[in-house]
Structure 1
Amino acid sequence: MHVSHLSLLAFTASQAAAVTLWATSYGDSGLGYGGVTSLNLDQSATGAYTLTATAFLNGTSSCGDQSSWLTKDSYNDVIYCVDEAWGLANGSITSLKPSANGSLVLFDKETTLASPVATVVYNGGAALVAAHYDTSAVTTWSILPSGGLKAMQVFQYKLTKPGAVPDRQDAPHEHEVILDPTGSFIVVPDLGADLLRIFAINKSTSMLSESSTYSVPAGTGPRHGTFLNTGNATYLFIIAELANTITSYSVAYTATGLSLTQVFISGAYGINVTIPAGAGAAEAILSPDHKYLLTSERHAASFQIANFDPKNSTKIPSDALIAWNIDPLTGKLSNAQRAPAGGMNPRQFSVNKAGTLVAVGLQDDGRVVIIERRGDGSFGDIVASVVVHGSPTSVIWDE
């Protein structure tokens, strides 16, 4: 356990005591180590944080052994978990209800196409949409009054030939589903087809319709992204796994859908920074104050950090988190700060509502860490950590 002692003032400002988080993890299906872990983040009167695993839902009896993503439905107080189900014919989407002690209780499980990797709730809590990586698909689900799901639509895609990176672009690979700020469109980065697929939402029925596609350069491999609405303009930020780029687009709303215009592009490690060999960009999210874009890079071991075992002086490798300043007038990014992610393969991470703490799932280390965020938007110290079952794939806050 790694803890940091902060001032009492920081303790008061962060309001982080007794917070629940949940983390998914991949596991070995034969051993059943994948699933969902409930975590408790406490802060003492001296300001020291402690992160503790309080409950574990084994994948074989809950979400699944390849649990890959969690979405909190704040409309219905439900947690949706997807099982990527490597090599199997079908995956699943599980509906979980938080209990008073922070553990999760399964009450609905629906079979779906295999390889769901991300979901988002849309249309005011009426429906859920999922991206499926290996099965090249997008599926939609009606959210029932109970919080359970009912299947609605399947959109499935094919390539006529492999893309510019044949071993990764052998087929379309839908990797995330991104809701626009107006709640009217879903954008799906397709890593395999080098497309951003845009869907319009029917507010009456929650049905999606294919609106348009936006092509990115061959071999880009768009993975994740996020929107920003400044009040005067809307921007879309897309991080690409294969080209290791971060791109800003100006968004225009037209009579037929969304129009995207590129306004900025950079290597995902920072402006004019050489990308380490083997690196793979992962996550891109907004800070709660919408002033910063926060991204992650994997497989490069950019840092050597102190061991989490205080008795072991051997340093351990760490990938990077990057904080970018956003120019609200242009959508351009600047002043990228690289900081240790706390270990290897930060597949996904999330920020608390106050914007003061970041929770990172480190897939290769079997660990979740909590990192401070400073007032200037940069990443600070690792203040808590815990080892969890399997290989963490996502972690979210119960706020």
Structure 2
Amino acid sequence: MKIITTLLLLSLLATHKPMQKKQFLIVGTYTSTGSKGIYVFMKDPATGRFTPTDTMEGISNPSFLTLSPDRQYVYAVSEFGKNSPGSAFAYAFDRNAGTLAAINQQTGTGTGPCHISTDAGNRFVFTGNYNGGSITVLPVQANGGLGAPIQQILHQGSGPVESRQKSPHVHSVNFSPDGKQLFVPDLGTDKVMIYDFDPARSMRPLQPAAQPFVSTEPGGGPRHFVFHPNGRYAYLVLEINGKTAAFSYANGRLTLLQTISGAPADYSGSNFGSADIHVSPDGKFLYMSSRGDLNTISIYRISEKDGTLSLIGHQPTLGKEPRNFLISPDGEYLLAANQKSNTIVIFKRNAETGLLTATGEELSIPAPVCLKWVE
């Protein structure tokens, strides 16, 4: 009897397939070109294709999104013009159905909010306001909604490129791996501002760090910022000059290691529009998108020894204006959002070489500008 029972158990184990996690792609857009708002897609585990599950209308220009750490809520900026006060929206996300439900909206984030993030405890939401040159802090309520702004920090200064750097332009708000510091690249001042974060200071959770900022190349235009998975290195896109800056990070301080161009060797132009930056999950490669004349993803190898970069290749994004992109959590795919060709193009990533190959699959969405992955 024991032998029969054991054989039956082994048979059941052999035929049992573990439940596959549902995977969703959430897309922020610019609505001025025909988009309806925020789009949600589910990835079919059998075919790998994406099918739509929801569209959230009623929000103007949801140009950047962030997810709460538990993936139950989505927060979006609503990016208005230069003289209009920006807004932030909160949504509940159904991780089974792939649908969004509006919770609330808060105005007064600051003009031109272009980036948004949350702390690890989802106690506060932070917006980076491009036109206002400021950071705004909003408390998160018990239902996941947003309270009225409680803190706003205005940057000061300018840069040498008169057409782009007459005043501060905050471009992103990014937490350190331990969640204790917020790093804020400012395109207008050529600085990454650094703030200590303490949630116990409920009305003023941010204050300047002991190292209040780190300067970058004059005229570079700091934009997006990302940490290496090991937490010891960080990387910054310089939008105006098309370069990437590499830093070491220890004891709450950044130290510049290197500034390296992301342009092809034969490129002689100056219209870079460099935009987004991500490290592969294995920490071996760095990817940076450029718009302007190039419309490419620059691919860098990361030194295991010291975190510095070597440029090893470029991948055309097969579209125009790759403002944003993401790497799937398993590192297998890179999805590039081409704002001006209304496509998200899917590439296969070679884990050994870091290079990209088009899969032939793409999604058609009006003006996609922010991609977020949910499992």
TM-score, normalising length: structure 1: 0.82
- Per-residue CA distance 1:186-212 (angstroms, 9 max, x = gap): 110000011110000114236010220
Q: Which has the larger radius of gyration?
A: 2
Match of 2:125 among 120, 125, 128: 128
State the Cα distance separating 1:269 from its structure 2 match.
2.5
Work out whether 1:23 is the aligned partner of 2:27. yes
The residue correspondences of 1:118-267 to structure 2 (distance < 5 A) are: 118-150=115-147, 151-159=149-157, 162-205=158-201, 207-211=205-209, 212-228=212-228, 230=230, 234-253=232-251, 258-267=252-261
- Per-residue CA distance 1:65-95 (angstroms, 9 max, x = gap): 2111011112361011111112452111111
Q: Mark the CA change 1:147 to 1:387 in structure 2 (over 3 Å): closer, same or farther.
A: same
Q: Mark the CA change 1:121 to 1:169 in structure 2 (over 3 Å): closer, same or farther.
A: same
The residue correspondences of 1:320-359 to structure 2 (distance < 5 A) are: 320-359=296-335
2:38 is aligned to: 36
* Runs of at least 5 residues in structure 2 that lack an aligned partner in the other structure: 1-18
- Per-residue CA distance 1:277-316 (angstroms, 9 max, x = gap): 4121111112122222111111224xxxxxxxxxxxxxxx
- Does structure 2 retain, via aligned residues, the 8 Å contact 1:17–1:42? no
Amino acid at match of 1:351: I
Q: Mark the CA change 1:275 to 1:50 in structure 2 (over 3 Å): closer, same or farther.
A: farther
- Does structure 2 retain, via aligned residues, the 8 Å contact 1:173–1:190? yes
Amino acid at match of 2:182: I
- Does structure 1 retain, via aligned residues, the 8 Å contact 2:123–2:199? no
Secondary structure of the residue aligned to 1:396 is: strand
2:291 is aligned to: 298
C-alpha separation in 1, matches of 2:180 and 2:21: 36
2:49 is aligned to: 50
Secondary structure of the residue aligned to 1:375 is: coil
Amino acid at match of 2:344: V
- Does structure 1 retain, via aligned residues, the 8 Å contact 2:71–2:374? no
- Does structure 2 retain, via aligned residues, the 8 Å contact 1:66–1:86? no
1:86 is aligned to: 81
1:385 is aligned to: 362
Secondary structure of the residue aligned to 1:172 is: coil
- Does structure 2 retain, via aligned residues, the 8 Å contact 1:53–1:386? no
- Does structure 2 retain, via aligned residues, the 8 Å contact 1:296–1:321? yes
Amino acid at match of 2:282: D
What is the Cα-based RMSD across aligned positions, in Å? Answer: 2.2
Secondary structure of the residue aligned to 1:68 is: coil
* Runs of at least 5 residues in structure 1 that lack an aligned partner in the other structure: 1-14, 302-318
Work out whether 1:286 is the aligned partner of 2:279. yes
The count of residues paired between Structure 1 and Structure 2 equals 349
Q: Mark the CA change 1:348 to 1:16 in structure 2 (over 3 Å): closer, same or farther.
A: farther
- Does structure 1 retain, via aligned residues, the 8 Å contact 2:71–2:93? no
TM-score, normalising length: structure 2: 0.87
